[in-house]
Structure 1
Amino acid sequence: MSQVSDAGTTGKIGGIGHQRKVIIGATVGTIFEWYDFFLYISVASVIATNFFSNNNPASAEIFALLTFATGYLVRPFGALFFGRLGDLVGRKHTFLATILIMGCSTIAIGLLPTYATVGILAPSLLTVMRMLQGLALGGEYGGAATYIAEHAPAGQRGASTAWLQISATLGFALSVLVVLGTRTLLTEEQYAIWGWRVLFLISIVPLAISVWIRLKLEESPMFLEMKRQGTLSKAPIRETLGQWPNARRILIAMFGMVAPQSVLLVGAQIYSLVFLVNTIKVDVQIANFVILTALMLGLPSFIWSGKLSDRLGTKPFIVGACLLGALTYLPLYKALTFYANPALYVAQQTVPVLVVADPAECSLQFNPIGRSKRTSGCDIVKDALVRTGAPYSNRAAAPGSVAIVYVGGQVIALAVRGKQPDARAFGERLTRALTRAGYLAHADKSAMNYPMIILILACLSSIAGMIFGPLASAMTSFFPARIRYTSVSFSYHVGNGLFGGLLPAISAAIQISTGNIYGGVWYTVAVVGVTFFVALLFLPSQHSLAKEALVSRI
């Protein structure tokens, strides 16, 4: 059985200069792909207003986040489709195609009609574009990771692929920066009506740059060698999923590497932005600024973790990040509330909000197309609380009881005028009571501790970087070269789709359903807590990974 060395390349194809060109070429294109993909979440609020019913802002927000999640959910299909092409016809041309699809679908979002113009067709078209973006990204990461890893010098796979790992963070940061600049130059009305479209349309510039760079790259030398020897896989998907040794690798990679990475990264970079703006009422411009600053401060952890993994192994970083995430994410989010909105933090401790209602009247606070009618007392009360963003706890009342909200010692009952509850009057009285109790409509900018907010967010990002930095090295070393593109892509995107992609929507739904503003954070804690044991028990040691990397059986 023929074999192809997988210990890394030497200087035969251009040495250090060539390696730098490979890293830059693959990473820059991937940065722009992530920029296109994450731009959506940076403008999620205006997307919710333009493409989904805003009859219930909380429901529109969740549905906008679910549309964001569709991009994650279709990524596994893109991984299989483009992974198969990458293992059959080559790495370079495959991830050149992915960037063209991503760029064109992003530009198309900027041209879509809104809900007010074409009704339900608007969110339908938006969802299709998000799915195309997800398909493209499904083939991008695995191709770029494989391409860099197969060019990396011996013993430097972690250091080389770590630069690729910062692409997601830089792409997200770039999207935040562009949004900040646009909102600074335009009025709120201009931004809401047409300014958001500009953000998507200007993607034509990075698309052109990325295509130009990738056209200059050469094919992976390892792929060319396998092609020369005639040892390429004839059925990469069947070999990846249909043979138990490889399928077992997929499961271990998915639940021991990718799942914790995805929730830690999304929790640090995306959900934190949603939490700042929608939950603790920080001005969107300020939230974008502190997130952007923190991301830049957290980037070194990605590079250091990748480089150190060449000496210490990837497993200690993955297991360590899981443990740190499980222990620190909830305290860090609570600290974020304390420093970003101290009035809200104090109000939670001193003036708790309690909903007392008949459980039979309470339904899930989720209304994606704005047609559900809030007629029961419990629904009206919770709907009003969701609109204010105030956290609350629940207590069951006797059947048929009138819904009541306690704001500290103040009782606010749902008044009934005729046969229908007076939701408007109740909402006004509730808002006044919450304001007096310290639950302000907007966080006080003068009371914010900006250095501490940035430090907390940088800590979240650094924990995510600790696992994400060496991830590409770990995964490319874990799978045989002949099915590497397919295997890395599939396990990475299924894990991200199932866990990270659904995180914003699941977390928001948990928070709204329970009334606990930290309820959504428990999702991240639960995932990394479980995957800690998976990583500890099933991930191979550095010795085993090194053995995998030295010789991949073809």
Structure 2
Amino acid sequence: MSQPKADARAPGIWTIVLASSAGTIIEWYDFYLYGSLAVFFSTLFYPPNDPTAALLVSVATFATGFVVRPFGALLFGSLGDRLGRKHTFLLTLILMGISTTLVGFLPTYATIGFAAPIALVVLRLVQGLAIGGEYGGAAIYVAEHAPANRRGFFTSFIQTTATVGFFVAILIVLACRLSLGEEAFRAWGWRIPFLLSALLLMLSIYLRMKLSESPIFEQMRQAGKVSRAPIRESFGTGQGLRYSLYALFGATAGLGCVWYTGQFYALYFLQSVLKMDFLTANVCVAVALAIGTPLIVVSGALSDRIGRRPLIVAGLLLAAALYIPIYMGITAAAAAQNYIAVTALILAQLIFVALVYGPNAAFLVELFPARLRYTSLSLPYHIGTGIFGGFVPLISLSVVSYTGNIYAGLIYPISIAVLTATVNVLCLPRSVATDLSSELGAAPVTGRQVA
């Protein structure tokens, strides 16, 4: 079966990439705002008598959003496979924008006591549900429009959105902190980045309303091939379950750990372990993100030429081998106040992120059939990134606190990276640039080897 021809009135591929990426950037911005302020929030929303416990609970609150991401993946993945890609990721965007804006209105612990962290956790849960349906919809929507020989390149822009969202969150937080001053920012200025989400939400809705439905989904709808029970079909059959497990343990678990170690854990390590001041730590991470993010697109484009798997496995193994030396170097550079070296060592981790993350959307999309793609892709992605990856800061900081060894927290991401690389090499089925309209197990189209 060939891919359906594009409607002459439909937007071009770059319009599709822009609208999909812009909305996803805003969703990640919303999701990661709390993460960039978690250390700061520990003094606002939790009892102040035990700073270490408050920090761990604050980071745990950040992690609650990850716990529910798989449930969001099931809910919105099923809707996306039954009702369509466009309307589903429009709904997730609205949920995310509203919940993030409401964080900006929350009273703190000093005002309403334990009701403050409870309300914060509830909003984090809504955010987690929303992001659970966003990524899969955006990645699939772009992939189902992109030409097969450039699928890695175009979907890599979706891969940049999490890093760009984190970068934008850091920039806005820093701008507010610097312009308002420490006292005003702590009193009320921290609310501004959350309230800005309302404006970003309106912009993104405007862009996404211009999009039409995926041509592949429209073809399935017209042919009467839309799945009526995508969750059961995706995970209730031996073949579907095997492919989902391949995606989880051969791609997304290691991907999540590499991403969160290189970005969030690096930030928390600087602030909480090395006691670097808030401003300096965030500037170092922000500069590294600005330089490193374009490498994700380079990696995605390269995967169209040499394959997805070599890049993914290389990134995982490099991360596992070099994390401890890199963090030792960060410690030494921070002690010497050599912040250029600190930034460079964070950037080195972003190279690992680019290698693993850049090709991953195309890699995952090509594993699953069109009628089950949203559900089948979203669940392993959000278990891998949300559970295995999202708990990196909490697990690693807890290990550091328990052992007293500031590098012991790296054992967890190193172990998962090695496991994922091993499963990828030994277990994942060989695949090529498949016709995305085809069914699972059908003969792939003849073409360039990409995975």
Distance in 2 (CA, whole Å) between partners of 1:86 and 1:12 is 21
Q: Does structure 1 residue 119 correspond to structure 2 residue 119?
A: no
2:151 partner letter: R
Task: Return the offset for 1:12.
Answer: 4.9
Q: Secondary structure at the match of 1:151?
A: coil
- Aligned residue for 2:242? 248
Q: Does structure 1 residue 537 correspond to structure 2 residue 426?
A: yes
Which residue among 395, 404, 415 is the counterpart of 1:515? 404
Q: Does structure 1 residue 88 correspond to structure 2 residue 82?
A: yes
Deviation sequence 1:281-321 (CA, Å, 0-9, x none): 21211111111110111122211111111121111111111
2:47 and 2:54 in contact (8 A); partners too: yes
Which residue among 264, 278, 281 is the counterpart of 1:287? 281
Q: Does structure 1 residue 493 correspond to structure 2 residue 382?
A: yes
Deviation sequence 1:243-284 (CA, Å, 0-9, x none): 110111111101110011101010111110001111112121
Q: Does structure 1 residue 239 correspond to structure 2 residue 239?
A: no
- Aligned residue for 1:459? 348
Q: Secondary structure at the match of 1:546?
A: coil
Alignment of 1:422-433 (within 5 A): none
- Aligned residue for 1:345? none
2:273 and 2:406 in contact (8 A); partners too: yes
- Aligned residue for 2:21? 27
- Aligned residue for 1:379? none
Query: Which is further off, 449-458 or 142-151?
Result: 449-458
Distance in 2 (CA, whole Å) between partners of 1:83 and 1:155 is 26
Task: Return the offset for 1:187.
Answer: 2.2
1:478 and 1:548 in contact (8 A); partners too: no
1:161 and 1:472 in contact (8 A); partners too: yes
- Aligned residue for 2:2? 5
Alignment of 1:100-179 (within 5 A): 100-179=94-173
2:5 and 2:215 in contact (8 A); partners too: no
Q: Secondary structure at the match of 1:545?
A: coil
1:69 and 1:502 in contact (8 A); partners too: yes
2:39 and 2:59 in contact (8 A); partners too: no
1:158 and 1:306 in contact (8 A); partners too: yes
Q: Does structure 1 residue 311 correspond to structure 2 residue 305?
A: yes
1:165 and 1:469 in contact (8 A); partners too: yes
Task: Return the offset for 1:173.
Answer: 0.2
Task: Return the offset for 1:181.
Answer: 0.4
1:334 partner letter: M
- Aligned residue for 1:385? none
- Aligned residue for 1:546? 433
1:473 partner letter: A
2:369 and 2:437 in contact (8 A); partners too: no
Distance in 2 (CA, whole Å) between partners of 1:308 and 1:90 is 30
Residues 540 and 317 of structure 1, relative CA distance in 2, 3 Å threshold = farther
Structure 2, unaligned runs of 5 or more: 443-451
Distance in 2 (CA, whole Å) between partners of 1:12 and 1:189 is 55
Q: Does structure 1 residue 483 correspond to structure 2 residue 369?
A: no
1:282 and 1:341 in contact (8 A); partners too: no
Distance in 2 (CA, whole Å) between partners of 1:234 and 1:83 is 12
Deviation sequence 1:118-169 (CA, Å, 0-9, x none): 2221111100000000000000000001100100113111011011100001
Distance in 2 (CA, whole Å) between partners of 1:535 and 1:178 is 38
Deviation sequence 1:70-102 (CA, Å, 0-9, x none): 101100111110111101011000000000000
Task: Return the offset for 1:114.
Answer: 1.4
1:107 and 1:200 in contact (8 A); partners too: yes
Distance in 2 (CA, whole Å) between partners of 1:56 and 1:503 is 22
Task: Return the offset for 1:549.
Answer: 4.5
2:293 and 2:354 in contact (8 A); partners too: yes
- Aligned residue for 1:423? none
Q: State, as a whole percentage, how many aligned pairs show the same letter.
A: 44
2:148 and 2:434 in contact (8 A); partners too: no
Distance in 1 (CA, whole Å) between partners of 2:239 and 2:395 is 33
The size of the alignment, in residue pairs, is 441
1:47 partner letter: F
Task: Return the offset for 1:45.
Answer: 2.1
Residues 534 and 318 of structure 1, relative CA distance in 2, 3 Å threshold = same
Deviation sequence 1:421-480 (CA, Å, 0-9, x none): xxxxxxxxxxxxxxxxxxxxxxxxxxx223222211111011111110010000000011
Alignment of 1:159-308 (within 5 A): 159-308=153-302
Task: Return the offset for 1:538.
Answer: 1.5
Alignment of 1:355-434 (within 5 A): none
1:83 partner letter: G
Distance in 2 (CA, whole Å) between partners of 1:115 and 1:450 is 35
1:87 and 1:232 in contact (8 A); partners too: yes
1:480 partner letter: P
2:2 partner letter: S
Task: Return the offset for 1:13.
Answer: 4.2
1:318 and 1:467 in contact (8 A); partners too: yes
Q: Secondary structure at the match of 1:113?
A: coil
Query: Which is further off, 277-286 or 265-274?
Result: 277-286
**Higher share of residues assigned strand:** 1
Q: Secondary structure at the match of 1:202?
A: helix
Structure 1, unaligned runs of 5 or more: 343-447
Q: Secondary structure at the match of 1:49?
A: coil
